[in-house]
Amino acid sequence: MANLETFKSEATAWLEENCPASMRKHGGGADAEFTRKKRSGDSLLWLDRCAEKGWIAPSWPTEYGGGGLSTEEHVALVGIMKKMNIPAPLGGMSLTMIGPTLLELGTEEQKKEHLPGITSGNVHWCQGYSEPNAGSDLANLQTKAEDKGDHFIINGSKIWTSGAMHADWMFCLVRTDPNVQKQKGISFVLFPMTDPGVSLSPIKLISGQSPFCQVFFDNVRAEKSNLIGKVNEGWTVGKRLLQHERSSIGGGGSSRFGISMTLNDAAKKYRGDENGKIDDPLLKLELTRQDIDTQAFALTTKRITDETMSGVTPGFATSMLKYYGSELTKDSAEMMVSIMGPQGLGRDDDRDNFSDDERGSTRAWLFTKALTIAGGCSEVQLDIISKRILELPTG
């Protein structure tokens, strides 16, 4: 363990020196999903320094621009950063979804082509999974890819594409064989969003924001060299990737909405007496229970990570984490606006009367309703738990 201790003290020193002070506060990670070209100032500086150090993706191999850290070192680094209140330099599905999938299932050429774009903070990816009217029934997809020898020509549409307006590339499930059972005949392809056949239509949400698009494909070209896995076997790749997605959606937190307060802080501010003491017994109880559930869930995430590191396959445990984590985050966001009372219920564009924290909380409240719907809704996760883990029979 001596080496790990050395690593920890070196990491602490490096972070102390390189992470700009303005990033080291709650909400400092607000830009986490933006690539280099959308950033400026300290946020850009922090991204660049991490890219150089390899710490955008600390555990990926150095040959692709990662940090080459062991799992223990990576866990230690995350712990140190959390303690120092330092945000991850980059977040989003490039790192959490397509990256790990390429590392696991991509060819050497594919890794070399795509991973450095991620680890340098230059390339942003979006996901082409859901389709209009398919809902949680992902496999029921209609976007068609026609085999043209060295490439495919794609026509159709995807919906709920997060960050499509900022994305450089898309990873996409397409139908390459319409004449077989729906889970078969699907392929997993990558193509650039700059293709002239790609067009976008933003979807306005109940939160007033439009973070998602419907994406239309009109003869879009995807090279065969960018096919992950075999033709017609993309469903397996897609499902593997979803397991990464589940653990990441399950987590989440308030910082991405730019909220600088914890629930307990907010309760003291909005509902406390002069000393911040909360004299509403019911509110105190709700905060207590939320804290207990949050701690228990954090311990569970840790336990399952530890089990995985000790060689146990997590399997469908990700469904449990996704289910509980997304419900918990949703409840937490609901509780935040409920604590703020009317101040938590302003309209998004009313900057005069509602503070950034308040508007952020309102947005988070409405946006987090999607967490239990997207990425396989809670009901689907419960179906998976009951069938795959508990092995309850199908009717």
46/51 Cα distance (integer angstroms): 9
User: Which partner in another protein, its own copies, none is near 134 (CB below 5 to 8 A by kind)?
Assistant: another protein
Residue from 1, 2, 21, 282 binding its own copies (CB under 8 A): 282
Choose the one of another protein, its own copies, none that binds residue 5, judging by a C-beta under 5 to 8 angstroms depending on kind: none
Q: Which residue from 221, 224, 284, 369 is in contact with its own copies, where contact means CB under 8 A?
A: 284
Angle between helices 317-340 and 281-309 (to 10 degrees): 150
- Interaction of residue 149 with its own copies, rule CB under 8 A: no
- Size of residue set near its own copies by CB under 8 A: 5
86, 23 contact by CB (below 8 A): yes
372: DSSP letter = T
Distance CA 189, CA 229 (A): 9
The residue among 1 and 282 lying less far from its own copies, judged by its C-beta, is: 282
By CB under 8 A, name the one of 84, 285, 312, 382 that touches its own copies: 285
CB nearer to its own copies: pick between 70 and 288: 288
Least CB distance to another protein at residue 111 (A): 30
The smaller minimum CB distance to another protein, of residues 144 and 284, is found at: 284
Alpha-carbon distance values, 59 to 96, 99, 120, 243 (Å): 12, 11, 14, 18
Site pattern 314..353 for another protein (x: CB under 8 A): ---x--x--xx---------x--xxxxxxxxxxx-xx-xx
- Quote the crossing angle between the two packed helices 41-53 and 2-18, to the nearest 10°: 150
Annotate each residue in 207-236 with x if it binds another protein (CB under 8 A) or - if it does not, as one string: -x----------------------------
Cβ neighbours, 10 Å, residue 210? 12
**Which range, of 30-38, 168-176, 189-197, 309-317, touches another protein by CB under 8 A?**
309-317
Largest CA distance in the chain: 73
Please list every residue from 247 through 266 that binds another protein, using CB under 8 A: 264
Count Cα atoms within 13 angstroms, Cβ side, for 266. 25
Considering the complex, state which of residue 29 and residue 163 has its C-beta at the smaller distance from another protein: 163
Residues in the chain: 395
Q: How many CA atoms are closer than 13 Å to the CA of 98, on its beta-carbon side?
A: 33
> Is-contact 222 239, C-beta < 8 A?
no
Restricted to residues 153-182, the positions that interact with another protein (CB under 8 A) are 159-160
Residues at the interface with its own copies (CB under 8 A): 281-282, 284-285, 395
